[in-house]
Structure 1
């Protein structure tokens, strides 16, 4: 959509808001009012004009989830988040968690804690997305989660395009709780052990609450689930491409060879991880690295949360919350060494070459007979918020808050120094520059040479956010239909982004601004960055009772960015048609500014890419560097958001909610898809190859794509069958997800894995059914979770055992709890449960060689999990 059309839509909504202010109606009696996510105006506890899904404490506990990531993974409206270990497609986000509402991208979901903003994670995804790390939040401290399922830029500002997830933490708690649990995959040794506590007390109008949680997680390897990583292999094990005819009369390589023939290491199959891969001429020794990697990493997670609330004698209230978390991924194993993507030339008489002609080495310095290289991660987050609220003499409320949050994400990754490996190939390696590395006979490789060319990179990304909020709200004046409510406020945000790395791993630039390759054989490096920016926003929101049955909410926000600005209006209508029927509708605009990393940072990730010949036929797959450069000229994303829904309440105990929604994106910020770019032009200017034609890396750029148009519907139902039984259903379905690829082609992404574009895998339908029973001192639940099938888009016609469809996936979770009252004021609760009761393993997803054989963004690899939890409360 053109910018003029977008501005016209904003004007129409703004005119509607102005017109709404002239409506009048009859009075309503005063009832208790609350504030819900999506509004600053305190409202009566009725169904509002906006779709908000609430996950309360009892529901969260019934899932048996030990982390927020596990809980979000089953949220119907979230699709394509990164909440599980996957070193192949999300190598830099290990140990973090996030939300992806509507599949519109991690950066398009605004995450709040107690209604306040939180800094983004220092970790960046492979596609450069930024996100708030939900792993910081202790699950035992959550009172409820509110999910606003539509855009909310008029209320909250940038990033609230797809919606808002507000984590509301427990406060004003009195007593002491201890809990401990253990969960274990039924047919492996993987287990989670966690302990936690919650304490609270009142001291003369002051409440203090403290919560702590510690998780110890053991690994699940691909070797434990071989079917989930059986194509995780590389054609680059240890092979040689001969550049001339050769005759070898003796030794392991004895034989006759032609020019440009691929010759594998003769010891390739001596190890269980070596495989022979036929080529057009000859064969290569490949490396089956899959069994070395984890599906679940060894991890420890410590979390502390505390809040203090104090009621002053004049009616004002002070609320302070402080939280800290430290996540450590202890192992994250990788291959013993990565392949040398410089594909070095070895002369006829160099490095023990037995062929007598020059060769190109297609391999990695260390093979399966060496221990995997560990790449641990450290993730530390701190947050504090000071909130002071009160009221004026005229009955209006005021609310001020100062919130600061900071994240440090440290990443370690082992590689080999290019210069020292070249020296070893020339016989001048090792600590004394006198040792040879013979790639034709690696049995003679000494540890001193290995130590000399091996290097552990270290990089640290730091983000921080300081936010000042000030809001007033109250009753403006009486209309015939009731009271006109108004809220207005301002917000100032300052955010920072900093990248520090060691000298070897740092990307430097030449005089022309081109990146200088780092001295590593595989990893591509990072640029050091230290930037910050400030934004200012003012906003107003009003609720206008038009008649006894119709209510309008209107909001308008102006946000001044560092190099741009945005005006975002919203109008929402609620119509009480009858006692049983309610209709609601809303229209708004939203925006998201480019992240500081997208504008300023140059980074590189390693991604599995299938190379192609000039005639369009596929070569082999391999991991290569994908280098993304920041773009200072990125414009903010813009969107138009629409929602129309109906609520049907045939009885007080049963309701149905159906909402049709649509989001039209323009100027979507994304990074070019490396695989799609290579398919479009295998020899383009940004496709980096060696002199021998081997794919080495792909340069990609951040850009504002033209448009994305998404629509679908949500279904939600609650049925209280009796005082003991209740049933709930929640589902989200994509009707369409049209996007524009890098080359301008418009494609349908819904129901696809989206290998060749910037969208993530996107099943059309996700849903859950939850059945709960509550007895005297007992509880039980049954949760059924469903993910529909979707297509990979991969041509598997030459692979008779593979399918181009990822099958639908249904899991059943069940739980039982018994409360054993110890005394009148204390209790002991025992909970037993099974996740994935029917032991369904993830459906197979064949994407390409070098990847997992399932989709970790949609499916869990654990199979059946048994768990037990005890809680003591005093």
Structure 2
């Protein structure tokens, strides 16, 4: 990895050092800082003891409403994608590696996994999504949150299990929603790509009022998104093709099981020619369709299918979101607050291939009426070709949440806070496939609704609509999650010391969560007496198991802030979590030392844990992944999509981590600060699913590698397990500078020093700076950074946001023709926005914003992810190119 980094430097790539030098030069060459009063923000994340300071012992990044608006983001997912500390989240459509998360959003702090980031709304837990990633990760769906409702986002950049419990290994993201708005504001926006027709149209509103001390806030948002196809960006999907179009593997077996090795001669017709046994023979009409391609094989040629142009880079989607908050402060120092929210996100199209290939690879006998070869063949193909319309795989995603909070103050000035929060998500996915039994019937001449029709794969022009309807099935799977939480906390000053008062908080939390999966009978995975999954009656999809499980946990926690002197304070926290099958005790201790007026040293050490999700424990699910099989000589074959069946494991132990942070804050004035933090996470018992590609590479003929009688790869069984360890360390850099009363500059950067993980095979690898195609980590550029500059006038505002992602490498075996590179280049984009306010009446003000995202129209760096996948990395890079947008709002 060192050599790769040096190569990037030699190519002129931006590095953390050059970024820091550039900012320092800009600071030194600008005018002197104009001193002015800076209003302290109230940080609420990371402690139950609230204090008005951003210089606490914990490293917390705060995104305020002004910054959020300056990005032009229309969804939370778009905002999260540009966070320097988040790497490898799934916030963009990708039917190949993110098949079941379309229409959702998530966060991946430190690249430690979607499940290792705790997402809160107003400091309260939210249920995970019913959607599961290809690697089985669970996550809180951030697409539920309307961006107009967000007052502030706080990102705690260290483990926080001692405060919040399970899942807070990598950190916490807390979305604080607006609750004190007075008036009415309506917003409308339109964004459109410069190249193509894709656009987002959104409209939102916020209304708030005070009725005799009762504050009411209501927010709504609607987004209508049109698609962007790979055909609109062909270079981003030119490797999205399959070797399984329509071909035949000649398989000349005799009745006694021996092989006839004499040449096979076809004297006439479209297949005329002389063939060798076990030769691949393509459909002779393969190139008559523009999506057909010929792919040479070790013996013969296959007819492949260039399915890329059929699929979307952006799906047709609608999002509807509502949020309401009602609060009241009583005269007896008791306050009550109730909020509720609902969202419905529908992916309308999500086009797929007209049909998937038959992964059972049917055996077609010499007696088949259409077989021209006079010998048996194995069919390597798909029932429907590109002449048929794409199959659609829509998604429906509905979330509901409600939370009641009652708090007050005791006579001794101690505070108490209680809350009951319920949230529920339903994720429904539809996927078209073909029934294996009915397709076999059609191949044997007893297909169709009356069991009397023949399907001739050697001449698909004879395929009737009645046969297609008979063997086509649309699967439906619904996954429900719910979470009920009670929180109770008391806090106050325990007693005074010569250095100041000791602040103390203690409380309990009780959680009950549920998970269920329901699917149609065809798509349901069932098990035999030995516990092995029974293949479903589908040619490609591998099904889901139906489950309905729940569990309850309870926790007690306490924390204290103890001043040792005027300059030093210690924060300690301890949490005991009682789980149904285990327990966890997680302490934390943090130190804040005011070294001088300008310098603050902060350090912390803590432990954290994550309980296995209910789906990881009890569910069996299957995804389709592009997998490279291997020839007898060990060389890899072209990747093909096969089923990957993951089964639950009730013996999973909770993940454990030790978290360390040492930081230095330099704040010479109220208008300038620099924060540098070194952090480290030692992660053990990591819960992950075996990597299918790595598993077949280790043992191509292992017991979990499922093959047909002809030896063709059909599926791979993988299991959830507690892997050995992950050791990650890095540097965070954050700086804010108010250059003048009108201009401010902010820089955030996160850099991996090391990301050492243990693969399924036991091999220890360095994952930082790698695409990580054959292990459980996601792509991990070593450095991400954002640089923002904002000018704010009396009636006008302007902002520039520069986003940087460093280059990284892939170890996938590249094509021999040298057409692909192992280096995935760095990606730098700049977004600009200009806003102006107009007074349109005595009681109404109009704000108009014009902006351009990716103003230089940078294309995402090319990625070779094998054949059958996108040619860019949707977990890191955006495919849209230059985007123009306009937003208007009218406030009354």
TM normalised by structure 1 equals 0.96
Aligned to 2:219: 211
Partner in structure 1 of residue 104 of structure 2 = 96
1:64-90 superposed Cα distances (whole Å, 9 cap, x missing partner): 000001010100000000000000001
| Shift in alpha-carbon separation, 1:200–1:394, aligned structure 2, 3 A | same
Match of 2:736 in 1: 718
Contact 1:150 1:163 in 2 (8 A): yes
Say whether 1:378 aligns with 2:396. yes
Query: Distance between the aligned counterparts of 2:644 and 2:154, measured in 1?
Result: 37
- The equivalent of 2:453 in structure 1 is 435
Residue of 274, 282, 285 corresponding to 1:256: 274
Q: Is the 8 A contact 2:42 2:54 kept in 1?
A: no
- C-alpha deviations, 1:580-617, integer Å up to 9, x for none? 10000000000000000000000000000111123320
How far is the alpha carbon of 1:44 from its aligned partner?
3.3
Report the CA distance between 1:793 and its aligned residue.
1.0
Displacement of 1:32 after TM fit?
A: 10
| Alignment check: 8 A CA contact 2:40 2:54 kept | no
Residues in 2 aligned to 1:613 and 1:681: alpha-carbon distance in whole angstroms: 12
The C-alpha deviation readout for 1:100-135, integer Å capped at 9, x for no partner, is: 000000000000000000000000000000000000
How many angstroms does 1:314 deviate by?
A: 1.1
1:814 is the counterpart of 2:822? no
Partner of 1:18: none
Relative to structure 1, is the Cα distance of residues 510 and 178 closer, same or farther in structure 2, using a 3 angstrom cutoff?
A: same
2:186 equivalent to 1:178: yes
Tell me the CA shift for residue 826 of structure 1: 2.2
Write the distance in 2 (CA, Å) between the matches of 1:121 and 1:40: 27
Of residues 152, 171, 189, the one that matches 2:197 is 189
Superposed CA offset, 1:674-730 (max 9, x none): 001111111111111111111100010100001100000100000000011000000
Q: Find the counterpart in structure 1 of residue 62 from structure 2.
A: 54
The aligned residue for residue 20 of structure 1 is none
Match of 2:50 in 1: 42
Q: Residue deviations 1:610-653, cap 9 Å, x none? A: 11123320112100000000000000000000000000112321
The 1-side partners of 2:817 and 2:889 are apart by 52
Q: Relative to 1, partners in 2 of residues 1:474 and 1:84: Cα closer, same or farther, differing over 3 Å?
A: same
Question: For 2:40 and 2:188, how far apart are their aligned partners in 1?
Answer: 38
With over 3 angstroms needed to count, the CA separation of the structure-2 counterparts of 1:481 and 1:808, relative to structure 1, is same
Q: 1:602 aligns with which of 620, 636, 643?
A: 620
SS of residue paired to 1:72: helix
Residues 1:508 and 2:526 are matched in the alignment: yes
CA contact (8 A) 1:142 1:169 kept: yes
Contact 2:756–2:764 (8 Å) recurs in 1: yes
Q: Distance in 2 between matches of 1:438 and 1:70?
A: 48
Cα RMSD, aligned residues only: 1.0
Quote the residue 1:627 is aligned against.
Answer: 645
1:590 maps to which of 598, 608, 623: 608
Quote how far apart the aligned CAs of 1:258 are: 1.3
Match status 1:853 vs 2:861: no
SS at match of 2:284: coil
Alignment equivalent of 1:314, drawn from 320, 332, 353: 332
- What is the distance in 1 between the residues matched to 2:329 and 2:637? 70
Mapped to 2, the partners of 1:390 and 1:616 lie a distance apart of 69
Q: 1-side partners of 2:373 and 2:840: how far apart?
A: 81
Q: Give the Cα separation in 1 of the matches to 2:639 and 2:724.
A: 30
Question: Separation in 1 of the partners of 2:733 and 2:136?
Answer: 32
Q: Distance in 2 between matches of 1:754 and 1:32?
A: 42
What secondary structure is seen at the aligned counterpart in 1 of 2:696?
helix
**Contact map agreement 1:648 1:655 (CA 8 A) in 2:** yes
Q: For the residues of structure 2 that align with 1:503 and 1:164, how far apart are their CA atoms? A: 40
Q: Is the 8 A contact 1:351 1:427 kept in 2?
A: no
Distance 1:320 1:333 in 2: 41
C-alpha spacing 1:259/1:32, structure 2 compared with 1 (3 Å): closer
**Alignment of structure 1 residues 234-383 onto 2, 5 Å:** 234-244=242-252, 245-383=263-401
Say which of 695, 703, 710 aligns to 1:692: 710
* d(CA) in 1 for partners of 2:369, 2:432: 24
1:225-268 per-residue CA deviation (whole Å, 9 max, x = no partner) reads: 00000000000000000113421111111111110010000000
After superposition, the Cα gap between the structure-2 partners of 1:33 and 1:486, relative to the gap in structure 1 and judged at 3 Å, is farther
> Residue 35 of structure 1: CA displacement?
5.3
1:681/1:837 CA distance change after superposition, 3 Å: same
- Number of equivalent positions: 844
Quick one: distance in 2 between partners of 1:464 and 1:36?
25
The structural deviation recorded for 1:827 is 0.6
Aligned equivalents of 1:650 and 1:202: distance in 2? 41
Name the CA distance, whole Å, in 2 between partners of 1:848 and 1:588: 40
Give the whole-Å Cα distance in 1 for the aligned partners of 2:704 and 2:788. Answer: 50
Match for residue 128 of structure 2? 120
Aligned to 2:581: 563
Whether the aligned pair in 1 keeps the contact of 2:41 and 2:54 (CA below 8 Å) is no
Question: Alignment partner for residue 696 of structure 2, among 661, 672, 678?
Answer: 678
SS at match of 2:695: helix
Mapping for residues 698-709 of structure 1, pairs under 5 Å: 698-709=716-727
TM-score, length basis structure 2: 0.94
The 8 Å contact of residues 851 and 884 in structure 2, kept in 1 or not, is answered as: yes
